[in-house]
Structure formats: structure tokens, C-alpha cells
Chains A and B, each alone.
Chain A
Amino acid sequence: MSTTFHVVGAGIVGRRIERLLHERVVAVHPPRQPDLARVRPGDTVLLAQAGEHAHTASQALEAGAHVVSVGDGPTDTRAQMGLGTLARERGVALVVGASLAPGLACLIARHLATPLASVDEIHVAVHGTAGPACAREHHAGLRGPAIGWHDESWVEYIGGSGRELCWFPEPIGARDCYRVAHSAPVVLQRAFPGVQRVSFRRSATRRDRLTARLPMLRPPHPEGGVGALRVEVRGAAPDGARVSAVAGIAELVGTATAATAVAFAERVTDLEPGLVLPGSTAVPTLDLLHAVEAHGVRLQTFTGIPVSVAS
């Protein structure tokens, strides 16, 4: 049966998704008023527009379509998670956060966690933005409030706090990263039951932090340069040794986000109906990571981290 892919949004990510799906039938909808009357049961709707996705996702689910959302706002993500029952009733999948983070970050975290006996901490950091809408969200995210999962409870931090020097794959290298309002901790905490600490940070400059509470002083670039993702998973190996595993990518953020969204969209009919969270055990993580690599995103791992040996 042929499936029609509908892409909502024509920014950097939307256009790149359309390019990756070039062999399939693609209907592109304007971001503000998507024509969901054209959506038929069994179609797949990829939400790649700026702003909130929950309302459009609800309409697409009502029409019997699978939904893949690249949204990363914490409030919107929680609203989408509330649509899981509707998706299950309609017999379709609702993939929430199929972007660079939480999407690819969650897949990498699951891959790193697979050989471990238990996962205690997951720390994600991102450098760079995709298009202008993404840059505006980055700017607003520094205003916070940023959330983190700390010792099995949610903690609210001031946006732009918690500076940490994070080492990304080359050519990005070391960048100062700060807590921002983002949905990655929300998705990771649900996908990894039992995890004790989850954090998300974004790179920012002094100017970014100083001007975060002001309107953007100049229009953002049409597309950010090469971005990067760093995922660190800490836990216990089967022999009890403490382990810290790190992996990531260095790639254009829009390209990596589109590759992740398309990887999910191509396999959405194989997923269980209902809410699908990247990184959960119900998701074919390895297949998805292979698909992301097939779309040109090179996964990397960091070696050289000391690992304690059980005595």
C-alpha cells in the first residue's frame, strides 16, 4: 500500500525532509494553516514547523494518520504525550521528539545503555541551530526555566545557568554549555524508567546569555553552521564496574534532525500504535541508527575515558 508523506513546515528541516523523501509522494503544507483535509487514514504527517505541534498532531491523529513530530518544547511535548491514548485508539503511531534532541540523542543513549546493567545518569549537550526558527527557540530557551531530572524528581533551574565545558566531536571541540528550556529531559526520563539524573545543555556565548532576556538584536542566520550532539550515559556494567560512555555527532543540525525524522517516518508502520518515544525499548534503536547513518550522519564515540575496574 502506498503511503503519502505530508510535511508541515517549509523551513530548513522541512525542506530537508522533503529532499530525503524524494522518491515518495510528498505533500508539503504551509506551517500556519496545514490542509489536513487532504490527509487520509494510513498517511504519515511529519510536523517540522516552528511552535507548538500538539494541536496539529491531534487533528492528524483524528484523521487516522501516523504522526512524527520534531518539536522540542517541553510544554508542547508533554501535551503531545497526552495524545498517546488517541493514537492507540486510532491504531496509529505518534512519534514525539524525532529531532536531533530528544530524537537522535535518545537513540544514542539507548545504544550506549544496552550493554549496561543499569543506567543512572544521562547528560545531553547540543551545539548549533538549524534555521531561524530554531535560533529563536535557542534564544528563548536561555530565558528558561530549564528543567532537569535530579534524584528522581523534577528540578527547575534558571535558564542559562549550570555552565559546563562539553567536548563535542571535531570540528566543534570544547564549548561552554548551559541549561535551557528543552524537552529532552522529559522524553529521556520517560524512555529510561529508573534513571536518576537527566540533564540537557546547549552551547551559548556570553552575548547569548547577556541578551537572552531581550528581543533578538539582529535577525538569525538562514542556517547555523556545523552543529554537534554529545550524549553521556553513566551506569553500572554487568560486573558492577562504574561506566561512563560518550557518543555524538558533528553535523548540520537541520540535516541530522531531518535524517532522524525520516528514519522514524520510514518505519512508522512497523511501530506499535500509540505513543512512541525515541530511546524506549519498544523502538528498533539499531535499525533507526543505521537509517540515520544511511542519510549521511556519521555517529562517533569518545574513547579514552577512564573506566574503573571492579576489584
Chain B
Amino acid sequence: MKLLRRVLAVLAMAGIAAAGIRLGGSGGSPPQRGGWRPLDLPPGQ
């Protein structure tokens, strides 16, 4: 019984920590716009 309570406590603490990290985020999503486009060269010299 004591072992089961310890296991449940550990799982609960891990869940709380994971939720905190998940909600806190780490830097936002990567850029969603932009990409490779053809390079428009001005007329030659």
C-alpha cells in the first residue's frame, strides 16, 4: 500500500511538472511565413 502511494505520488508530480512545461512553452512556433522564392536579378551592368 505504501509503495502504491509512492508510485502515485511520483506520477502525480511528473504530471504536474509536464503540464507546467507544456503550458509554459519554450519559444513559440517556428516562422509560418516565407520560404524560397525565385531571385529577381536587376538588369545586367
A286 → chain B, closest Cβ, in Å?
Answer: 5
Contact A302 B45 (CB under 8 A): no
A residues 189-226 near B (Cβ < 8 Å) are none
Instruction: Decide: A301 and B42 in contact? CB cutoff 8 A.
Output: no
Cross-chain contact A301 with B45 (CB below 8 angstroms): no
Closest partner residue, chain B, to A292 (CB atom): B41
Q: Mark out the residues of chain A between 255 and 311 whose CB falls within 8 Å of any chain B CB in the assembled complex.
A: 284, 286-287, 289-290, 293, 298-306
Query: Are B41 and A301 within 8 A (Cβ)?
Result: no
Q: Is the pair B44, A301 in contact by a Cβ cutoff of 8 Å?
A: no
From residue B18, how far is it (CB to closest CB) to chain A in Å?
Answer: 27
Interchain CB contact under 8 A, A304 and B31 = yes
CB closest residue in chain B, given A169: B36
- By DSSP majority rule, is chain A's interface helix, strand, loop, or mixed? mixed
**A299 partner, pick from B41, B43, B44, B45, beta carbons under 8 A:** B41
Residues of A contacting B36 in the complex (Cβ-Cβ under 8 angstroms): 169-170, 248, 300-303
Residues of A within 8 A of B25 (CB): none
- In this complex, how many residues of chain B approach chain A with their Cβ under 8 Å: the count is 13
Within 8 Å of chain B (Cβ to Cβ): is A247?
yes
Could you give, for residues 27-45 of chain B, a 1 whenever the CB lies within 8 Å of some chain A CB and a 0 otherwise? 0000101111111011111
Q: With A170-B36, A299-B41 given, name 16 new contacts (CB 8 A).
A: A169-B36, A284-B44, A286-B44, A286-B45, A289-B41, A290-B44, A299-B38, A299-B39, A300-B39, A301-B38, A301-B39, A302-B35, A303-B36, A303-B37, A304-B34, A305-B34
